[in-house]
A and B are shown apart, each in its own frame.
Chain A
Amino acid sequence: MEIGVYISILIGTIFINNYVLSRILGLCPFLGVSSKLDSALGMGLAVIFVMTLTSFITYPIYKFVLIPFRITYLMTIVFILVIASLVQLVEMVIEKFSPALYQALGIFLPLITTNCAVLGVAVLNITSGFADPQSHMGLLKSVVQGFGGGVGFTLALLIMAGIRERLDLADVPENLKGAPITFIIAGLLALAFFGFSGMKF
């Protein structure tokens, strides 16, 4: 077991190649749900859950269905349909078994289908070569990458929500309110996250 590989995937997706601040994925929820800490946390948890599950399911589909039948060009269609039905299924299961959790996450789940970070992680798992025949433990690597991506997204979302809650008290020029000031903060955060890019394992 080379545990180091998994740790470096995890650190890499959370800090060095943070999905939001470095790869620029999942900006719609990042803008839309980052005005309050509570809802940011709910959205973050839902994304971690769905991204991990998506990695767990799309990887075997690619490796054991699409490759043997030589229909890898259908990847985009298959993945987006899998993600959409997965989100629907998760929503129904949570609603049935845990009304409390559904109360907390329910409204965020439908939004996740159009979160490009989720489809992004499914495609990145494939383009990082985890599904190649010579790659060992590809499923575990994919799941770790999905989980890390979700955690990185949540981290960025929480930092942004914390800043924006304080920003309510600040005197922002009228035309900068909302999206423009959020993008300026995101730019500063992305600069700060540059600091991680020197890390090596």
Chain B
Amino acid sequence: MKYWQEFIKGVWKRNPQLVVGLGFCPTLAVSTSVSNALWMTIAATGVLIGSNALISLIRRIVPSHLRIPIFITIIASFVTMTDLFLGAFQPEVYKSLGIFIPLIVVNCIILGRAEEFAQKNGVLVSILDGFGMGLGFGLTIFVLAVVRESLGANRLFGYVLIPGMEPAGAMALAPGAFFTLAFMLWAMRSINARKKGR
């Protein structure tokens, strides 16, 4: 039961973007299409699970004043592996995600989980925590991407939605990303506020 709690908290109760407020840059930048969103989720979740597991394994031997550089190096190594994997097996995805793959290093969610959770908890729980946080991160990008792809490109999963309709191009670009996320944050807060009031 405790394991389930640690796993599921990242999806809704402690959702990294909508509740904690971390990791906005990749969320907004790669949510132009659902396939980009899914691959970004896979990449970031992979890094998150790997770094959480390794950091939790070495948590007793890391001197506390050196922990940040060590964590960053570990995360950067996992990001490099992900980068090479995607480049080798999914060249199309690799091209469209572009610089946002190396930038997973500075995704604050990953360093945040290392600092807040993995260095204090056991390996299994840390892996579950990383997996849950990755799913929560992915869920937010997925919703964002569904809205932006259907409005901004008139497509969903690559299929045309309404033939002949002119898509609202701004939704596919930066303004659409900002607006959609603003409304999602608003909705999340309203739901939480209503729950609290009851």
**Chain A residues in the interface with B (C-beta under 8 A):** 21-28, 31, 73-77, 79-81, 84, 114-116, 119-120, 123-124, 127, 174-176, 179-184, 186-188, 190-191, 194
Contact of B103 among A74, A119, A180 (CB under 8 A): A119
Knowing A27-B24, A114-B111, A191-B170 touch, does A80 contact B105 (C-beta < 8 A)?
yes
| Residues of the A chain whose Cβ atoms lie less than 8 Å from the Cβ of B163 | none
**Chain B residues in the interface with A (C-beta under 8 A):** 21-22, 24-25, 28-29, 68-69, 72-73, 76-77, 79-80, 83-84, 98-99, 102-103, 105-108, 111, 170, 173-179, 181-183, 185-186, 189-190, 193
Q: How far is the CA of A194 from the CA of B176 in the complex (A)?
A: 12
Knowing A77-B76, A180-B185 touch, does A191 contact B28 (C-beta < 8 A)?
no
- Cβ-defined contact, A176 with B186, below 8 A: yes
Q: How far is the CA of A184 from the CA of B73 in the complex (A)?
A: 35
| Residues of the A chain whose Cβ atoms lie less than 8 Å from the Cβ of B181 | 183
| Residues of the B chain whose Cβ atoms lie less than 8 Å from the Cβ of A190 | 173-175, 178
Contact of A23 among B29, B111, B170, B185 (CB under 8 A): B29
Contact of A25 among B21, B25, B170 (CB under 8 A): B25
**A77 CB, min distance to chain B CBs, angstroms:** 4
A175 to B, closest residue via Cβ:
B189
**B24 CB, min distance to chain A CBs, angstroms:** 4
Q: How far is the CA of A114 from the CA of B84 in the complex (A)?
A: 23
Q: Other than the known A175-B189, A187-B174, what 14 A-B pairs have Cβ atoms closer than 8 Å? A: A25-B25, A28-B25, A77-B77, A80-B76, A80-B105, A114-B106, A115-B106, A116-B25, A120-B103, A123-B102, A180-B186, A187-B175, A187-B178, A190-B175
- Cβ-defined contact, B182 with A184, below 8 A: yes
Instruction: Pull 26 A–B residue pairs with CB atoms less than 8 Å apart, ordered by A.
Output: A21-B174, A23-B29, A24-B174, A25-B25, A28-B25, A28-B108, A31-B21, A73-B80, A73-B84, A74-B80, A80-B72, A81-B72, A84-B68, A114-B108, A124-B99, A127-B99, A176-B186, A179-B21, A182-B182, A183-B185, A184-B179, A187-B174, A187-B182, A190-B173, A190-B174, A190-B175
Mostly helix, strand, loop or mixed at chain A's interface?
helix
Contact of B182 among A22, A24, A123, A181 (CB under 8 A): A181
Q: How far is the CA of A179 from the CA of B25 in the complex (A)?
A: 14
- Cβ-defined contact, A127 with B103, below 8 A: no
**A121 CB, min distance to chain B CBs, angstroms:** 10
Q: How far is the CA of A186 from the CA of B177 in the complex (A)?
A: 10
Q: How far is the CA of A179 from the CA of B22 in the complex (A)?
A: 11
**A169 CB, min distance to chain B CBs, angstroms:** 20
Pairs of residues from A and B, 5 with the lowest C-beta to C-beta distance, nearest first: A187-B178, A183-B182, A77-B76, A190-B174, A175-B189
**B198 CB, min distance to chain A CBs, angstroms:** 16
**A197 CB, min distance to chain B CBs, angstroms:** 9
- Cβ-defined contact, A26 with B186, below 8 A: no
Q: How far is the CA of A76 from the CA of B76 in the complex (A)?
A: 6
| Residues of the B chain whose Cβ atoms lie less than 8 Å from the Cβ of A115 | 106
The residue in B179, B181, B182 that gathers the most chain A C-beta atoms within 10 A of its C-beta is: B182
Contact of B25 among A24, A73, A75 (CB under 8 A): A24
| Residues of the A chain whose Cβ atoms lie less than 8 Å from the Cβ of B178 | 183-184, 186-187, 190
The residue in B22, B77, B102, B108 that gathers the most chain A C-beta atoms within 10 A of its C-beta is: B102
